[in-house]
Amino acid sequence: MAEVPSDAEIISTLADDLPVGLWVARAPAGEFVYANRTFGEIMGTVGLADPKAGGYASPYGIFTRDGVPYPEAKMPFVRALEEKRVVVVDDLTIRRPDGARVDVRAFARPVTNAAGAITHVVIAFFDITREVHAQQARAESEHRLARAQRLESIGTLAGGIAHDFNNLIFGIKLIGTELAIGETDARRLRSLALVDDITERAATLTRSLLGFARRGKQRPMPVALDDVIAAMRELLTRALGGIALEFELGATDRGPIVADRTQLEQVVLNLVLNARDAVKGTGRVRVTTRSAAERVILEVADDGPGVPDGLRERVFEPYFTTKTKGPDHGTGLGLATVLGIVESHGGTIEIGHGLVGRGATFRVALPKTDAIAASAAGAIVRGEPARGSGTILVVDDDDIVRRAITLAIENLGYDTAAAASGAEAVELFRRNPSAISAVVLDMVMPGMNGRATYLALRDIVPEIPVLLMSGFTLDDEVQTLLELGVRRFVAKPCSVDDLARELAAIVG
């Protein structure tokens, strides 16, 4: 006759099949009594006889979510004893001996005798790894969305400010050039040259803002990242002074990317200069390229102090800088510009650990040629500076800029007509289209913008020569107009020489 299993054996068998880990210990010392099979699967070890109350974290590999050994005073066993009730602890992470990590929620229940004294504590462990990962993924997604929305708002503001400042800078630049014509006083000429230098410096800042605002994608074409960096070796080496600069270039053999070469150079230079500032003259900087699936990777790593976790998101915000004093005082636009350029090219940027466990690595991933549409239509072709003749219709809603452009064009030998709006320009042109040789047209105007104005002018004279101008750089809207028939585009602020070359090209 078969032996009948005891009650204890039946309970033990059933407990082993439960999808929850059970662990029982005596109170108050915590001597191990029982653990089921699921407990061993979760913890990666069977119940241990040696640990006692006050010493569970290390033997069982119990940590906080942040990787700190779990405080013994907050262990489920200890809390159940102290609080004399069922306690729930859901921030435990088990680091198993096999290297796996398991996130756990524990229910600890004190067991009392007839006299009300606690004799045992039973703890049920639930594997909530998937739940925790899902929560973390949601939190990360929400964080990225909030960051993207914040940066988009800042970018919109930065782009608008840059556009308006470009208009003002353009006016100053043109007026300064006009004042220099015929000037013989050497002191005044030096002052006017200084004005021109200042406007160029201001234009550089606004270009950086437009880069951050993703308004700066200009002339995309197939380029090899390694070739771009190789051409910059000497410049980068000089920029770093005595700091060790290493190159590991290995991306060219897998095909080019589609990018604006000038902006790509700006990304590389800004990242290298950022690394230079991080190591403070005594470390190493390494520039690496490689291929990964449909992306080309650029990494700029250093062995400086690294980027604190709390600042990793903010370093890409415009005008945020940790270099606030001394000769290396930062503008806070370098990394903001990098972010804007990279994202405008369909890429991503992230921060990782630097060299030999120290410092930081800025990792840029850009799509390869077959992953992004390439279009070089509307590329700006530079001619030689020239004077001209004929009547140029200047259309710009900004009075200062319109007057400055008009004066500059007249100094080049042209006659001018001016309109403060698209509607006024169309009406003026309709009266006598044969009298107008070409149109200088602002892109951004209230009411009837550059696109609407151009289409209306084209309806009157289909082949009307138009030079489009904007405080933004060449973007998708401008590219569309170039494809529709606009002859040339120039970004404000430009020099009088640039304006002369572009007019000569369309007036012919």
Which helix (H) or strand (E) element contains residue 142? helix 129-180
- Asked if 223 and 264 touch (Cβ cutoff 8 Å), the reply is yes
110-165 per-position pLDDT tens digit: 999 988 899 999 999 999 999 998 888 888 877 777 766 665 666 566 666 666 77
Give the pLDDT mean for 37-44.
90
Give the pLDDT mean for 33-43.
90
> In angstroms, how far apart are the furthest CA atoms of the chain?
125
The pLDDT confidence band at residue 324, using thresholds 50, 70 and 90, is very low
Provide the residue type at 390 as one letter.
G
pLDDT at 470: 77
Give the pLDDT mean for 153-179.
70
pLDDT at 70: 93
Whether 33 shows a pLDDT value over 70: the answer reads yes
Whether 359 shows a pLDDT value over 80: the answer reads yes
Q: Identify the DSSP state of 17.
A: T
- Asked if 413 and 388 touch (Cβ cutoff 8 Å), the reply is yes
Give the pLDDT mean for 414-421.
92
Q: Which is higher by pLDDT, 114 or 182? A: 114
pLDDT at 350: 87
Distances (CA, A) of 368 to 193, 260, 379: 43, 13, 21
pLDDT at 309: 65
pLDDT at 425: 92
Q: Which is higher by pLDDT, 447 or 336? A: 447
367-388 per-position pLDDT tens digit: 887 533 333 333 333 333 468 8
453-484 per-position pLDDT tens digit: 999 999 999 999 999 887 665 566 777 888 88
- Asked if 173 and 407 touch (Cβ cutoff 8 Å), the reply is no
**Whether the model pTM is above 0.85:** no
- Report the 10 Å Cβ neighbour count for 474: 23
Return the structure tokens found at 385.
């500076």
Lowest-pLDDT choice from 16-20, 324-328, 464-468, 470-474? 324-328
Lowest-pLDDT choice from 152-166, 167-181, 352-366, 407-421? 152-166
Distances (CA, A) of 28 to 35, 53, 80: 18, 8, 10
Q: What is the DSSP string of 326-377?
A: STT---S-HHHHHHHHHHHTT-EEEEEE-GGG-SEEEEEEEEBGGGS----T
